[in-house]
Every structure is written in C-alpha cells, then in structure tokens.
Amino acid sequence: METDSLFSLRPTSIRVGANPVRLPSASIVLPGLVLLVAFVIPLVLLLRASFAPSDAPQLWVGFTLDQYHALGASVVIRATWNAVYLAIVVSFAALVIAYPLAWLLAQMGRRAQTLWLILILTTLSLSDVLVTFSWQVLLSRNLWLYRMLRAAGMTGASASLVPSFGAAVCCVLYVAIPFSVMILYPALSRLDRQWVEAARTMGAKPWRVFVSVVIPCTSSAIGITLILDCMLTFGAYVMPLVLGRPRDWTLAVLISDAALNTDNLPGAAALSVLMLAVTGALAVVVWKLTRARRLA
C-alpha cells in the first residue's frame, strides 16, 4: 500500500472551488527554507545593523545614515577600486590560463584525467592562509625566484617582491586557476567531437578550430567561470592583507578592520552591504558581456 510522506517529492494539490491548486513539493520547499534561513534572514539583519549609530548599545537601536555617508571616504573608494581591479585582472588571467589547461585535460585518456583531477582537487583543498604564507616565503629575497629576477635585471637590488599588488595577484591567481579548470572541464569534456573533426576536415588549422568552434560552443561555461572568479576574488581577504601594501588593501580588509580593530559593527555592516552591491553589479556586467558575445 502506497503511503504519503511529509518529505515526498511528488507535488500535492488542494481544491479551491472547481479548480485544483498544486502545492510545491518538498524538493522545492526544503531548499527554499534553507535559503531563507541561510541567506535572507542574515541579509535582513545585516541591513538593519548598517543603519544603527556607532555608539548604539545594540545593533537594533536607533536609525541613522551616517554609516552610508562614510562610504564616500577616499579610503573606501580606493579599497573598492582595488577589489574590483583585482577581481577583473585575476578573473580574465585565470580564464586565459585555465581554458587551454582544461582543453588539454579533456583530450587526455581516462586514467590521466583522473590523476590530474585529483591533483587539481588537492590544490583546492589547501587553506587560503597556508597558500598565502607559502607565497610570502616563495617571494622572499632569500629564495631563488627573487635572485633569478634580479639576475635578469627585472628587479632592483633594493626592490622587494612582497608586499606588493603583484604578489597578491599571483597568490589569488594560484587559487583561481584550479577553480576555473574544474568549472570549464565538464563543458569541454562534453563537447561534440564531430564538430571539431568537421572543421578539421574542411581544412581549418588547429588554432582556428579552437577559436571558431571550441570557444563559441562553451561560451556559457566561460561566462559562469568569469562570474564565479569575480565573486571569489572580490571577497579575498587574507591574500591582500598579508601580501599587499596598505594602499593595495581591498574592501574585505576594511570590513575586518572596522569590525575587529575599531569595534564599529554598523560601519562594517554598511561596508558589507556595499560589497554585496558591487559583487552583484560585477556579476551582472560580466553576464551581460558574455551573453552579448554569445548572441553576436
């Protein structure tokens, strides 16, 4: 005998008048409840805290726009620009490097693919703190990399590779490249090989096939990769803080400073709201650009 369950995946229905109304199944209700608890409620609390005065005894007492007026300060504008610039540079650099790697990975045999995927997943399992301090040691003056650059005349005797904006870019890029490969690989592995073979049969060179067939067929994966890389990079905190100079610090560093060092939780909440808004704007802009490219 078939019984109904509270967690049944089948939609149920009730009758209102003469027309039955279908109710959403648990497969939709449960994720919606999780989203409500994990995102919507914290977002509402964050917005409310951003309107509280700095000297309020509680974050739910009082209402002021002073925290949003402070967002026009030069240090906030510079930190926002640093975060946007870092996200754009790392996202496109990661795509340029990761796309050929993912394409080569898709051409390998099953055993080689498994081995390389395990290695890539291993790099993704490393902590951001561990990766950051490893790059700090790697770029120090005592190791071979600095000495090679100095011998090649690419850096002066008094110059230092860290702290610098370039050091932060390299470290974030190290994290973003494996992440991008894991996003691009499924789309490239499912690409119909008949299209590639047809282009080669018609006399197209390998680079022409790659540019005219492979890339357009995976434009959606490219757009998703750019969006996720932007969101991942824009919120970077440990890497710009440790490897960058104070003038290179991003918005995430300011949020931490406002919350932990100055004990200005409403200010940190307002900066977090700004961060969410800019992240959403970046995602929309990148999606529009990739969509326009796909329709062109």
Q: What is the mean pLDDT of residues 183-191?
A: 86
Distance of CA 92 to the CA centre of its chain: 12
The winner for highest mean pLDDT among 1-10, 43-52, 170-179 is 170-179
Nearest to 98 by CA among 185, 22, 197: 185
The full set of domains in the chain, from first to last, is 13-50 (no CATH), 70-295 (1.10.3720.10)
pLDDT of residue 18: 52
Do 98 and 218 touch, CB atoms closer than 8 A?
Answer: no
Tell me the helices (H) and strands (E) count for the chain, helix number first: 15, 2
pLDDT of residue 173: 92
206-221 pLDDT, tens digit each: 777 777 777 777 878 8
pLDDT of residue 97: 93
Share of the chain above pLDDT 70, in %: 81
250-271 pLDDT, tens digit each: 888 888 888 888 778 888 888 9
Nearest to 101 by CA among 173, 31, 167: 173
Neighbouring-strand partners of residue 19 = 16
Which band of pLDDT confidence, cut at 50, 70 and 90, is reported for residue 157? low
Nearest to 124 by CA among 182, 43, 77, 68: 182
Q: Burial, 176: exposed, middle or buried (Cβ in 10 Å; 0-12, 13-18, 19+)? A: buried
Pair of tokens at residue 190: 């499912």
Nearest to 272 by CA among 283, 256, 260: 256
More confident residue, 4 or 78: 78
191 has a pLDDT exceeding 60: yes
Pair of tokens at residue 177: 């490249």
What Rg, from alpha-carbon coordinates, does the chain have? 25
5 has a pLDDT exceeding 50: no
Q: What share of the chain is helix, strand, coil (3-state, %, to 5)?
A: 70, 5, 25
